[in-house]
Amino acid sequence: MSSSLILLLALIVLLLGAITIYLLRTGWKMIVVAFCLAMLALVMLRQHEFKAAINRWKQLDFMKEEASLRRVVSTFIEEDIKPFVLLDVPLISQLPELPRGCEVTSLAMLLQDAGVKVDKITLAKQVKKDQTPFQRRNGKVYFGNPHDGFVGDMYSLTTPGLGVYHEPIEQLAKKYLPHRIVNLTGSDFSELQKYLSQGSPIWIITNSTFKKLPASAFREWDTPSGPIQITYYEHSVVITGYDKDYIYFNDPLKKTKNQKAPKAEFLDAWVQMGRQAITYQSD
């Protein structure tokens, strides 16, 4: 109850007290007046309580509506994600031409699935390169940064090289699908599932074991843009589907499509490599 209302009621009580004393002297007519004033005070009090009750009801009703809306949104999101997906995506081998070209080969699969007629060799020539030569400085490797461009030799394993990450791949992909490429890097797997459920495969960076790597599998080297952690197990594939237990993918090092790996292990490897993922919006 507000302080102003308490003050009002106190004044009414004092007034009633004064009237009562006066009534003892003046008779029954003033009793009627006092009774009316008392009823007025009671009505004012009840009106305040009624308004408070109405406000509580409105607040409760709003909370119910909000909860209902959340349930609707949650249901909508769940309906966007199918329990099982397996897409028929073109399988392209990176071998023998591109022993380090898993990233552009996987991009070729993604683009061909979207209807773009482009091959891995063309993409290998077009992808941005980091031209930093391999060096050793003070006992440490000084080389390129895969975030900036393809590092090293894509065509031979006898000379130094590594690969390329999502930024140059996205840049190249947008030349072919300028308004449809979506970079999902950093997203939860549920976001990837939405696109897979809509029929769009996912280009990703993982490792060739499809399991989380031990710390000993990583190396640090210096680059023109700063030190980075790398692993020579780095690999790129195209996710083609999933179910409750497995992730399905096209591996450019394999001869059959829709390879599978345990879901938890596969996701651990993907997360460890920075959740790098690219797809396209379906028409």
Encode pLDDT of 72-109 as tens digits: 444 444 569 999 999 999 999 999 999 999 999 999 99
As a whole number of angstroms, the distance between CA 259 and CA 244 comes to 15
Which superfamily is assigned to 85-280 in CATH?
Cysteine proteinases (3.90.70.10)
Question: Who contacts 278 (Cβ-Cβ below 8 Å, separation ≥6)?
Answer: 107, 110, 166, 169, 170, 173, 181, 182, 183, 184, 185, 202, 203, 204
The pLDDT score that the predictor gives to residue 214 is: 99
As a whole number of angstroms, the distance between CA 176 and CA 48 comes to 68
What are the tens digits of pLDDT across the range 251-262? 999 999 999 999
* pLDDT(19) > 80: no
* pLDDT(206) > 80: yes
The pLDDT score that the predictor gives to residue 79 is: 62
In order of 67, 143, 166, the CA distances from 227 in angstroms are 48, 10, 18
The pLDDT score that the predictor gives to residue 217 is: 99
Mean per-residue pLDDT of the chain: 86
Mean pLDDT of 135-152: 97
Of the two residues 20 and 244, the one the predictor is more confident about is 244
Three-state DSSP at 207 gives: strand
The pLDDT score that the predictor gives to residue 97 is: 99
User: Under a CB-based contact definition with an 8 Å cutoff, are residues 101 and 154 in contact?
Assistant: yes
Mean pLDDT of 177-182: 97
In order of 73, 194, 196, 239, the CA distances from 84 in angstroms are 21, 11, 10, 13
What are the tens digits of pLDDT across the range 32-82? 555 555 555 555 555 555 456 556 655 655 455 555 545 544 444 456 999
Buried b / exposed e over 107-131, threshold 16 CB at 10 Å, is: bbbbbbbbebebebeebbeebebbe
